[in-house]
Structure 1
Amino acid sequence: MTNPPDASREDPTVWARPGNHNPADQPAGASEPETQQVPAPAAGERTQPVAPAEAPPPAQPQPGPPPAPPPYPPEQWSATPSGPPPSEDTPAAVKAKRRLLRDPMSVVLAVIIVVALLAAGVLAAELYARHRAESVVAAAAECVVRDKVSVSFGPTPFLLEHFTGDYRDISIRTAGNQIRSAKGMKADIEVDNVDLHGHGNSKGTIGALNATITWTSNGIKETVQDSVPIVGGLVNSVTTNPSAGTVELKGALGLGSVTVKPEVAGNGLALTVVKVTAMGAPVPSETAQSALDIFASRLINDFPLGIHADRVQVTDNGVTAHFSTTNAAIPSAQSDPCFAKL
């Protein structure tokens, strides 16, 4: 009787592995099942095949926490900076500055904008200062002549004149309603070289003042009627005679007339009586002359700043006179309230 072959000489793993098992058939990532080692049987014992151990089922993925939402909407992912904002010293900013400096057109435009802003500021200051000065001078002139006045300064920048305290080319125009109590009188005044560096009782000096005064015939009539006693009540019309240089004041209904001749007398004007008639007959002129002298001295011979008459002329429409003064001291507010705001 033949004994079976010794089982101990055979490979014990043959019994431990399942048949027809191919490791390549395992799914990827699955762990290879552990093989159970069976001890070799003793002599004379029969070996029993051992069933292979069952492979554990593959691990199921466990649900984890939901992914965090992105910090920006998807449409902004590409535009959202991933780091801190660039500083002015970053290479990009330095390159931009260099490009700006290399571009002459940009530099020129920047300079033009700055210059335009400065010019606009200076122009606004100039207009305001000029308007303010015109208002102050107009108020002083209106106080003197007692009529509406317009004032304008010359082409020299007013701010420059204001800083230096010297003013030139000042034009003053009255409305023509009256000068003081003289109805229908108008003045065109040119003032030059005004120095406001005052001292003592003077606010400064006026280098030169020239005024042209016109007095209409109708204004003469109204003024004489209102201001000259006795004679004024008789005046009904005024007629000028340029060739003779006289002015005739006529009464109503041929009651009488007074013919006067305007002349320069001293520093003022005088109305010299040439002839007085009553009912067509000449009469002494002393009474009319005395009344006209008082009238002229109070009306047109009492101007401030040393203004005096230079010449007078009779025209077809009335009387024209020229007045002037030089190096006149501007009175202080205590001396003349009209100049208080200068």
Structure 2
Amino acid sequence: MTDPWARPTDQSPPAPSAELPSQPPSRDQPGQPGQVEQPAPAAPQPQGPSALAKVKKLLSDPLSVVLVVVIVVALVAAGVLGGELYARSRADKIVASIVGCVVQDGAKASFDPLPPFLMQHVTGHYTNINIETAGNQIRDAKGMKVVLDIQDVRLKETADASGTVGSLTANITWSTDGIRQTVADMVQLPFIGSAISDVRTNASNGTIELKGLLGTITAKPTVVNKGISLQIVDLSAIGLSWPRETLQPILDKFTAQLTENYPVGIHADSVQVTDSGVVAKFSSQNASMPKPVDDPCFAKL
């Protein structure tokens, strides 16, 4: 007989049910209603050194400091050089245009390398200017060329001047063919007229021969009244006789038109006959430059 209160031996206790852990909803699956999906936190960005730290690091390196100084100096020098070249080019063109207007021919001008042009421009004192004309003409004188050396120019406005010129030297050359063209264009001699067939120079006695169809005039260039004059030394005409006193005023008027009344007091100092023509030296000292109202050629100053 069995005990009804006894625990059955063939029965094992029920195994506890294992609970599966809850899985988070997949990103591809829609969330539960009422739930807001939170964005994932951004990854922290690495922070570089500050600008002040970079400057301190740069200044702590002597080589870097030297490189920075060299770069800065190079940039400043490039800027100054560019300004110097531009200012020189601009000034060369202005001076050339003024001289070209005076002589009625093309001209080239340049300033000496030293002192720097920008320094001269700031002070208004230009130490040395070199000018050369094209050689086509000076005013009405065909075939005449001038090389100018101008020193100590000061731009300072006064009541009657735009500045001063300390020293000016002009070396002029006049070719024989230029003399022939000029005399033919401007001079009407009684027995030659404008039919000048040839011009010859004699360097040994310093004379010029003007040959026409009916005669020849031999003249000697000299300095008269701060200009160049052709003084007649011999006349020869076929079947005609003309007194020298009749022809000399005609030549004087001709040469005065060509070589007198130049600006800034330019005047003739010497003249010499060569095998190819005539050379002359003109100059001026401590002269005033005219104002634009007195000479329009100086308006660009």
**The TM-score by the shorter chain falls in which range?**
0.7 to 0.9
Report SS of the residue matched to 1:194: strand
Match of residue 332 from structure 1: 291
Report SS of the residue matched to 2:99: helix
Counterpart residue type for residue 211 of structure 1: A
Answer yes or no: is 1:223 the counterpart of 2:182. yes
Cα drift, residue 329 of structure 1: 0.5
Q: CA offsets per residue over residues 120-161 of structure 1, 9 Å max, x none?
A: 111111111111111111111111000000000001211000
For 2:200 and 2:9, locate their aligned partners in 1 and report how far apart those are by CA, in whole Å.
Answer: 158
Which residue, out of 140, 149, 165, partners 1:206? 165
Answer yes or no: is 1:235 the counterpart of 2:196. yes
Cα drift, residue 62 of structure 1: 3.9
Q: CA offsets per residue over residues 270-294 of structure 1, 9 Å max, x none?
A: 1111111102776422232121011
Match of residue 143 from structure 1: 101
Match of residue 34 from structure 2: none
The answer to whether the 8 A contact 1:202-1:330 is kept is: yes
Match of residue 44 from structure 2: 82
Which residue, out of 85, 103, 112, partners 2:61? 103
For 1:66 and 1:301, locate their aligned partners in 2 and report how far apart those are by CA, in whole Å.
Answer: 106
Cα 1:110–1:212 shift into 2, 3 Å: same
Match of residue 290 from structure 1: 249
Cα 1:305–1:241 shift into 2, 3 Å: same
Cα 1:322–1:336 shift into 2, 3 Å: same
Q: CA offsets per residue over residues 53-92 of structure 1, 9 Å max, x none?
A: 56335336445232999789xxxxxxxx724744616xxx
Which residue, out of 168, 173, 189, partners 2:148? 189
Q: Percent identity?
A: 46
What are the within-5 Å matches in structure 2 for residues 1-342 of structure 1? Answer: 18-19=11-12, 52-53=13-14, 55-56=16-17, 58-59=19-20, 61-66=22-27, 82-83=44-45, 85-86=47-48, 88=50, 94=53, 96-156=54-114, 157-230=116-189, 231-252=192-213, 255-279=214-238, 283-342=242-301
Report SS of the residue matched to 1:159: helix
The answer to whether the 8 A contact 1:234-1:256 is kept is: no
Report SS of the residue matched to 1:274: strand
Counterpart residue type for residue 143 of structure 1: C
The answer to whether the 8 A contact 1:247-1:259 is kept is: yes
Higher relative contact order (CA 8 A, sep 6+): 2
Cα drift, residue 119 of structure 1: 0.8
Cα 1:123–1:202 shift into 2, 3 Å: same
Counterpart residue type for residue 113 of structure 1: I
| TM-score (ref. length: structure 2) | 0.87
Cα 1:225–1:16 shift into 2, 3 Å: farther
For 2:21 and 2:79, locate their aligned partners in 1 and report how far apart those are by CA, in whole Å.
Answer: 81
Instruction: Point out the structure with max Rg over C-alpha.
Output: 1
Cα drift, residue 109 of structure 1: 1.4
Q: CA offsets per residue over residues 95-130 of structure 1, 9 Å max, x none?
A: x44442232222111111111111111111111111
For 2:41 and 2:88, locate their aligned partners in 1 and report how far apart those are by CA, in whole Å.
Answer: 62
For 1:71 and 1:147, locate their aligned partners in 2 and report how far apart those are by CA, in whole Å.
Answer: 83
For 1:97 and 1:217, locate their aligned partners in 2 and report how far apart those are by CA, in whole Å.
Answer: 75
Counterpart residue type for residue 155 of structure 2: L
Counterpart residue type for residue 164 of structure 1: T
Q: Which runs of 5+ in 2 are unaligned?
A: 29-37
Counterpart residue type for residue 204 of structure 2: S
For 2:219 and 2:208, locate their aligned partners in 1 and report how far apart those are by CA, in whole Å.
Answer: 5
Counterpart residue type for residue 185 of structure 1: M
Bigger drift between 278-287 and 231-240 goes to 278-287
Counterpart residue type for residue 187 of structure 1: V
Q: Which runs of 5+ in 1 are unaligned?
A: 20-51, 73-80
Cα drift, residue 240 of structure 1: 0.6
Cα RMSD after superposing both structures: 2.7
Cα drift, residue 304 of structure 1: 1.1
Cα drift, residue 4 of structure 1: 8.4
Cα drift, residue 322 of structure 1: 0.2
